[in-house]
A and B are shown apart, each in its own frame.
Chain A
Amino acid sequence: MIRHLLILFVLAAGCFAGVGCSQYEFNDPTSARVTMIHDQSADPPPAPAQTPKTLP
């Protein structure tokens, strides 16, 4: 009885290890991440210098 349980335990452990290894190996890490450091493209152009209005 104990021998059968041991065999079952070893088989189950082997299956888990196999599945775990295959998932680890076929997990594709291909990816990219963008970190924006500086972005002025959306800023409006600088406003023209205002000339002082003279009152009549």
Chain B
Amino acid sequence: MNLVAMNNVVMVLYYLISAFFLIAVVRNFVKTKDPQEAVLFSIVMIPFVLRILRLK
């Protein structure tokens, strides 16, 4: 496997990891009973969404 192919595989894994953490944060957001935590989780989601959408 050449360098570009290896890089592409790792990049796809990286997006999957981002999606995994986004799902985890969304799950915590839904389950929490603490309003402060809910605000915190909603802020934490922002960079993951931007990355998955390939905006940043």
Co-complex (A, B): no
- Residue positions of B touching A, CB distance < 8 A: none
